[in-house]
Amino acid sequence: MNKTKAPSHTKIVCTLGPATSSPEIIAKMLGAGMDIARLNLAHGTLDGHRQLISAVRLASQKLKHGIGILLDLPGSKRHAGDVQSAFGKHLEFALSQNADFIALSYISSAREVEEVRKLLNEMNADVSLIAKIERAKALQESGPILGVCDGIMVARGDLALEISIEKVPLASKRLIKEANRLGKPVITATEMLESMVRSATPTRAEAADVANAVLDGTDALMLSEETSVGNHPVEAVEIMARIALEAESSLHSAQILNESWQDVPPEVNDATARAACQVAYQVGAKAIVAFTAGGTTALRVSKYRPCQPILAVTPSEHIMRRLSLCWGVFPIRKPDPQNLEEVFGMAGEAALETESARKGDLIVITAGLPLTLPGSTNLLKVHRV
């Protein structure tokens, strides 16, 4: 966990641009709470984006803070399902830069997401697909779309033009709830702290908007012009982190767990993740340590929104960056443990290193046996550090 930022469970996505192109500003944004760097390929040049990605990765390595790269692919408002022509050129660029997330613009159906996935499989690429819900048809088809993507972005600006502005708040709440139920990350976007493009402080209405998104259950909050072209990019990140942390203090884990009993899948791995959150709440554990080879164990724990930090221990840099989008998850890279004793020892080390716990504190450990088999969450242990 980065000690220079308030450890809010809600993640912050920052759009980079002319105002945030210097290594110094990028480093300050990382320290302020940026978890994901977003580059909108609808603006700028590919060479410029390439330089920004390099600067982000260099700053991330220096600060030892894993950060995800999200590339927003513009697509076309007029494309009629031809995903190759809509996304092909930018897909190739995204893969050449080892992007962690690809956001797809103007998606209308699950079929379009599946066709992009097919293209990626043909390219032998493993990248998370984020479907932007910004069309009325996408809103109507949100269930099937959520079933095939890795997460969604609630693009409230374009959505307002499609369905009328007064319908957007309830639509956003519904989309967040649907994503939460499936354990898929959801980003809330558009004009969250818009006045900070010019002003050093947001309006009270903007602060309320950010807090409500947190209370609704969003995984991540997105800054657009505030950080790409704004006069106060670092301050915008700092204030968003502070508002998120304050809003999270009113979330009640017991209530969330009780509500999460509805529609639970009859799966051992999901049941184990939920039990880890229940046990952590009941015994007052300081952290939940999830050993995760492919990221699914940490995702399942995140779904149940524990108040404790979820320390996701993984040997993979790729998985570490991918988990940077998930609510409450703080990825830590460590080698694969070879046996259970190493699991318990490594979990204690992770809790101490991140200052999540002190000697003598309780933590909850969850993992899968066999240890190297992804998607087999079936181990739960209460452990004293």
Considering the domain architecture, whether residues 210 and 282 belong to the same structural domain is answered as no
Q: What is the pLDDT of residues 1-32, one digit of tens each?
A: 444 344 789 999 999 999 999 999 999 999 99
Of 227, 248, 269, the last residue of a domain is 248
Residue range 265-278: average pLDDT?
88
As for how many domains the chain has, the answer is 2
Q: What is the pLDDT of residues 94-133, one digit of tens each?
A: 999 999 999 999 999 999 999 999 999 999 998 999 999 9
Of 248, 273, 297, the last residue of a domain is 248
pLDDT at 5: 42
Percent of the chain at pLDDT exceeding 70: 94
The set of residues, in sequence order, having a beta carbon less than 8 Å from that of 247 and lying 6+ positions away, is: 10, 210, 211, 214, 215
Considering the domain architecture, whether residues 84 and 191 belong to the same structural domain is answered as yes
Residue 4, in any domain of the structure: no
Considering the domain architecture, whether residues 167 and 219 belong to the same structural domain is answered as yes
pLDDT at 2: 43
In the predicted structure, residue 257 carries a pLDDT above the cut 90: no
Considering the domain architecture, whether residues 301 and 346 belong to the same structural domain is answered as yes
Please report, for the domain that includes residue 202, its CATH number. Answer: 3.20.20.60
Considering the domain architecture, whether residues 160 and 36 belong to the same structural domain is answered as yes
In the predicted structure, residue 80 carries a pLDDT above the cut 70: no
- Report how far residue 364's alpha carbon sits from residue 381's, in angstroms, rounded to the nearest whole number: 6
Residue 3, in any domain of the structure: no
Considering the domain architecture, whether residues 132 and 174 belong to the same structural domain is answered as yes
- Report how far residue 25's alpha carbon sits from residue 46's, in angstroms, rounded to the nearest whole number: 21
Considering the domain architecture, whether residues 159 and 189 belong to the same structural domain is answered as yes
pLDDT at 78: 62
Q: What is the pLDDT of residues 287-328, one digit of tens each?
A: 999 999 889 999 999 999 999 999 999 999 999 999 999 999
In the predicted structure, residue 83 carries a pLDDT above the cut 90: no
Considering the domain architecture, whether residues 259 and 285 belong to the same structural domain is answered as yes
Strand 11-15 relative to strand 220-223, pairing:
parallel
Query: What's the token pair of residue 94?
Result: 């995204």
Least confident of 56-65, 176-185, 237-246: 56-65
**Domain membership of residue 116 as a residue range:** 11-248
- Report how far residue 152's alpha carbon sits from residue 135's, in angstroms, rounded to the nearest whole number: 13
Handedness of CA 65, 216, 228, 161 (dihedral sign): positive
Considering the domain architecture, whether residues 188 and 166 belong to the same structural domain is answered as yes
Residue 290, in any domain of the structure: yes
Q: What is the pLDDT of residues 123-143, one digit of tens each?
A: 999 899 999 999 999 999 999
Residue 344, in any domain of the structure: yes
- Averaged pLDDT of the chain: 91
